[in-house]
């Protein structure tokens, strides 16, 4: 689009105090020239046509008066002709404005009777500014508005859920600013997130910490950013009064820009979560580990040392939103990274002559601040609209110092538990004495054999757990588990005679409440207690293929609290009890469970085990081994950087021993993390996982006595894991009771008949929130172990369906108690047992009666009929738009609210 040519301006004559006009000023007025236009030639005549030129988009950088932003300023002089031209144009504009401002009578008088009325010149109405204070008009008067933003960058940390610090927001922001992870910018509002991430990445690399980041090697540009956009989970609402405000990574498209984020308040700036009043806060998470901050050590003046401990030391300062440690960022009670160890060795070498005993970490020269370990990133600058790569702005390639100083192992600290090679010798488990355990091949008989073996030769009293609610039972049961862990004797807890009963307290509406008891209650108590640990980032850490292992806290190796030790032992015991019930202890990795069963023997992780559970990683390792020590390993750059903190360029020269040792290190860290099997958290977990009894029984012995060994047992358990509707398709039965006089009830929607069974199947095959307007009212009433972050997963509805009706989110491997029955009944059917005075309320609200012990759900058919007969409009935002939305919303609500609730809704 062509911009209008700017004209020089001549000041009009000014009147003096005596009424005479002053023809000119003492000093000539310099002409104004738009910063968006090229200079005007000084010899342009007012009679010559003015040729419009294309404006350079975006504001130009200021580099002095001589050559910008007013180019040609010195060569311009005022011209009378041009000034007259401007004055004539202004007079004409004033005349038109006066004409438009005349009254109607003047206009009628100015034209003769019968003359046609003419329209005045259209005038653009003034634009209203946004009410959001961070959005400001563009100073140039053209182009998009600007947005003042504050960018917070979160370094990645395994096992730590990123959170918004609302209570400590100023303190946390100051900490980020100190380590150069907070930036305040003013950018056009149509800037895309891809462009913004590139700008922030460049700022980080050019900061005094000279951050070195890696980006994913595959995917489109918006899928392999070095920074991932963060959004608020659950609209920024805490799950409890002192709970965290959790942040999730947000999947964006290539066109997602800042203006689109402003339109999603609940996800990006919910009330009370914006740290700065006049700035829009954007939160990024660094996409991949390792993240290096290069800092000049105090003992060196020429080189920067790369540190990978920034995240550990930052988050140790802020364990929660309501507590911050009063210490410096460089804390002494955290494990040292290689950079810290190297600096310590430098300090030691200053006072003593021996050379450092630690391998030197990666080092970079000060001029290589924009060097990266991954693929070059494309940096897009919104104001210039041009792209340039890292190679264009890097002055000098990084000078890496090889980390490998040995030929037998990679890191001296891991030589004791990571072997020098893998899969070179066959592995055979050592024999184990299991005389008290009867061998069996059926998972259903396995639990019975274990209970009998645990009490063999001992007089064991029945185990009775009672309470007024599920929460009371869970608390009582956990106390029993803790006592067994303290005694290291689970004989009483594994009693063959067990009773779990919920006896609600009488109330005015229900003076004689019905107790709930049986295997279903026991199963739900066990599953709820286990879920408190498996869903917490304090106890589990992510590993390969969406599986987890236990989280070993670094500080525990130095000083472990009694509460942490008890919690890890209870977690191990509950994991074993869930397996004893015939259920998979998801999301724990079955390979990790196998590793624990054989007392953390790394050799037990054979080719066959890895190929079965992690085939993709297995083939990568095989490719690495086949490449050999002399082959090109550049294609392994991403996986090596992720699991070894090494740059692939430092490994190009290696021998056979180092090549094999690296394969072992990759396997160990990918499956088990960075800590040794002697870590206090791992040993505490194992103490509970063994379920030792005073007669010599242990759960690990029982597993190894199972016919086919632990491999077959783990396969049977993990077949119970629900991954989609197909996992439960064969065990769900929907039928009409005798009171309906039909075994296949149905409803008619828009002239089409739909069976209730088909509607339930359609619901189970779906995902997500059916109706957002009805969703908010139930979120606050849900049990804490329900992970709503998984609501879009294809298995979420099927798992919640099974959990609500049976008490567990996994299907038993065998036995008659696998099947689920759904009954549709009439309003007066006695199968639906409730107090007479509450029956009408239950019918009106469609409350589902669930009998967990019998794996049954009972539904009033009249409620579904009322949903089918109701009228729906997609134009009404606070109600379901269709019958199917109404049906799915009702069924999802009833299932979620019934979990752990043994009373009628």
For position 379, what pLDDT does the model report? 30
pTM comes to 0.54
Task: Name the residue with higher pLDDT: 368 or 504.
Answer: 504
CA distance 874 to 427: 63
Residue 535 is encoded by which pair of tokens?
Answer: 């869903």
710: closest CA among 622, 615, 606, 619?
606
Query: pLDDT > 90: what percent of the chain?
Result: 20
Q: pLDDT tens digits for 248-288?
A: 888 888 888 888 888 787 788 776 665 566 788 899 998 87
Listed in sequence order, the residues at least 6 apart from 95 whose beta carbon sits closer than 8 Å to its beta carbon are none
Could you tell me the pLDDT band of residue 353, with boundaries at 50, 70 and 90? very low
Longest dimension (CA), the chain: 125
Collapsed DSSP state (helix, strand, coil) of residue 69 = coil
Asked if residues 795 and 722 have their Cβ atoms less than 8 Å apart, the reply is yes
Domain boundaries, the chain: 146-321, 443-600+677-717, 725-898
Q: What is the average pLDDT value for the chain, to the nearest integer?
A: 75
Q: Which CATH number fits domain 443-600+677-717: 3.20.20.70, 3.30.470.10, 3.90.1750.10, 3.30.70.360?
A: 3.90.1750.10
3-state secondary structure of 146: strand
DSSP string, 292-336: BEEE--TT-SS-EEEE--HHHHHHHH-SBTTB---S-SS-TTS--
Per-residue pLDDT at 23: 44
- 559-618 tens-digit pLDDT: 668 888 999 999 999 999 999 888 889 899 999 999 999 989 999 999 999 999 999 999
Residue 866 pLDDT grade (very low, low, confident, very high; cuts 50, 70, 90): very high
Q: Mean pLDDT over residues 683-698, rounded?
A: 92
* Backbone φ and ψ of 184, nearest 5°: -115, 125
Tell which wins on pLDDT, 207 or 547. Answer: 547
Residues 687 and 681: their CA atoms lie apart, in Å, by: 10
Choose from 346-360, 636-650, 749-763, 846-860 the range with maximum mean pLDDT.
Answer: 749-763
Q: What is the mean pLDDT of residues 498-517?
A: 78
- Does 655 have pLDDT greater than 50? yes
**β-sheet with 849-851: strand ranges across:** 732-736, 820-825, 856-860, 849-851
**Which pLDDT does position 772 carry in this prediction?**
72
pLDDT in the model for residue 380: 32
pLDDT tens for each residue of 79-114:
444 445 555 655 555 555 444 444 444 444 444 554
Is residue 8 pLDDT above 50, yes or no? no
Task: Give the model's pLDDT for residue 731.
Answer: 87
pLDDT for position 279: 85
Pairing of strands 820-825, 732-736: parallel
Tens of pLDDT, residues 292-321: 787 765 554 445 567 778 888 888 888 887
Least confident of 51-60, 154-163, 264-273: 51-60
Q: If you average pLDDT over residues 712-740, what whole number do you get?
A: 88
- Confidence (pLDDT) at 424: 87
Q: Which residues contact 787 (CB under 8 A, 6 or more apart)?
A: 535
The string of pLDDT tens digits covering residues 107-139 is: 444 445 545 556 556 555 554 444 467 788 888
Maximum mean pLDDT: which of 17-31, 576-590, 812-826: 576-590
Residue 727 has pLDDT above 80, yes or no: yes
The mean per-residue pLDDT over the stretch 624-634 comes to 90
Res 253: pLDDT: 85
Output the pLDDT for position 273.
66
Read off the pLDDT band of 764 (50, 70, 90). Answer: very high
Mean pLDDT of 234-243: 76
């Amino acid at each position: 689009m062509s911009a209008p040519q700017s004209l020089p301006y001549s000041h009009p004559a000014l009147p003096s105090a005596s009424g005479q006009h002053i023809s000119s000023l003492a000093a000539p007025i310099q002409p104004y020239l738009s910063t968006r236009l090229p200079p005007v030639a000084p010899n342009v005549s007012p009679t010559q046509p003015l040729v419009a030129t294309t404006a350079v988009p975006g504001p130009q950088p200021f580099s002095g008066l001589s050559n910008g932003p007013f180019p040609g300023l010195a060569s311009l002089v005022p011209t009378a002709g041009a000034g007259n031209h401007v004055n004539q144009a202004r007079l004409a504009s004033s005349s038109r404005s006066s004409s438009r401002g005349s009254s109607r009578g003047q206009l009628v008088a100015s034209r003769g009777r019968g003359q046609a009325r003419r329209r005045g010149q259209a005038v653009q109405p003034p634009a209203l500014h946004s009410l959001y204070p961070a959005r400001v008009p563009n100073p140039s008067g053209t182009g998009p508005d600007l947005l003042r933003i504050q960018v917070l960058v979160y370094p990645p940390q395994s096992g730590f859920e990123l959170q918004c610090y609302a209570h400590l927001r100023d303190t946390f922001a100051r900490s980020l600013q100190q380590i150069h992870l907070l930036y305040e910018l003013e950018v056009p509002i149509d800037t895309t997130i891809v462009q913004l991430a590139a700008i922030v990445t460049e700022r980080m690399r050019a900061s005094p910490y000279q951050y070195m980041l890696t980006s994913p090697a595959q995917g489109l540009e918006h899928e392999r950013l070095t920074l991932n956009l963060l959004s608020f989970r659950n609209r920024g609402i805490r799950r409890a009064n002192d709970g965290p405000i959790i942040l999730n990574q947000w999947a964006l498209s290539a066109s997602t820009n800042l203006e689109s984020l402003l339109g999603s308040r609940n996800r990006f700036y919910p009330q009370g979560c914006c740290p700065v009043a006049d700035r829009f806060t954007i939160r990024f998470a660094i996409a991949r580990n390792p993240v290096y901050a290069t800092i000049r050590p105090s003992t060196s003046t020429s080189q920067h040392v790369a540190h990978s401990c920034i995240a550990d030391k930052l988050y140790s300062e802020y364990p929660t939103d309501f507590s911050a440690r009063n210490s410096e960022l460089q804390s002494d009670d955290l494990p040292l990274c290689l950079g810290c160890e190297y600096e310590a060795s430098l300090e030691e070498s200053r006072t003593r002559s021996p050379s450092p005993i630690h391998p030197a970490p990666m080092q970079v020269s000060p001029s290589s601040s924009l060097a990266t370990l991954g693929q070059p990133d494309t940096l897009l600058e919104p104001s210039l609209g041009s792209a340039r790569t890292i190679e264009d702005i890097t002055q000098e390639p990084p000078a890496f110092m090889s980390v490998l100083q040995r030929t037998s192992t990679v890191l001296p600290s891991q030589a004791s538990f990571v072997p020098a090679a893998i899969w070179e010798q066959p592995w055979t488990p050592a024999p184990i004495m299991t005389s008290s355990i009867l061998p069996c091949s059926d998972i259903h008989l396995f639990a019975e054999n274990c209970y009998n073996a645990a009490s063999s030769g001992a007089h064991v009293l029945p185990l009775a757990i009672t309470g007024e609610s599920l929460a009371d039972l869970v608390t009582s049961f956990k106390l029993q588990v803790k006592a067994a862990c303290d005694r290291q004797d689970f004989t009483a807890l594994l009693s063959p005679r067990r009773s779990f009963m919920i006896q609600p307290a009488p109330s005015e509406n229900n003076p004689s409440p019905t107790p709930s008891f049986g295997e279903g209650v026991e199963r739900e108590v066990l599953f709820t207690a286990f879920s408190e640990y498996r869903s917490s980032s304090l106890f589990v850490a992510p590993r390969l293929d969406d599986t987890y292992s236990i989280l070993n806290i670094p500080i525990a190796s130095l000083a472990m609290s009694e509460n942490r030790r008890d919690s890890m032992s209870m977690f191990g015991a509950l994991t074993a009890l869930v397996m004893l019930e015939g259920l998979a202890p998801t999301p724990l990795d079955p390979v990790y469970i196998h590793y624990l069963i054989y007392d953390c023997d790394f050799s037990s992780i054979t080719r066959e085990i890895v190929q079965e559970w992690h085939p993709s990683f297995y083939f990568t390792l095989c490719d690495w081994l086949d490449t050999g020590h002399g082959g090109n390993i550049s294609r392994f750059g991403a996986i090596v950087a992720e699991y070894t903190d090494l740059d692939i360029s430092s490994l190009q020269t290696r021998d056979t021993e180092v090549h094999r040792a690296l394969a072992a290190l990759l396997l160990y860290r990918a499956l088990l993390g960075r800590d040794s099997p002697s870590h206090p958290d791992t040993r505490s977990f194992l103490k509970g996982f063994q379920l030792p009894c005073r007669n010599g029984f242990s759960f690990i012995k029982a597993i190894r006595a199972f016919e086919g060994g632990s491999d077959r047992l783990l396969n049977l358990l993990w077949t119970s894991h629900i991954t989609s509707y197909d996992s439960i398709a064969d065990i769900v039965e929907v039928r009409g009771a005798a009171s309906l006089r039909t075994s296949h009830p149905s409803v008619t929607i828009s002239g089409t008949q739909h069976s209730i069974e088909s509607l339930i199947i359609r619901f189970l095959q779906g995902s997500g929130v059916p109706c957002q307007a009805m969703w908010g009212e139930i979120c606050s009433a849900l049990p804490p172990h329900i992970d709503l972050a998984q609501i879009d997963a294809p298995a979420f509805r099927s798992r919640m369906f099974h959990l609500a009706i049976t008490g567990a989110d996994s299907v038993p491997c065998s036995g008659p108690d696998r099947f689920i029955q759904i009954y549709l009944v009439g309003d007066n059917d006695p199968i639906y047992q409730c107090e007479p005075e509450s029956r009408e309320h239950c019918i009106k609200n469609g409350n589902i009666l669930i009998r967990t012990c019998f794996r049954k759900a009972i539904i009033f058919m009249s409620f579904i009929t009322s949903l089918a007969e109701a009228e729906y409009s997609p134009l009404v935002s606070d109600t379901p738009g269709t019958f199917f939305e109404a049906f799915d919303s009702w069924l999802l609500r009833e299932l979620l609210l019934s979990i752990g609730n043994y009373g009628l809704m």
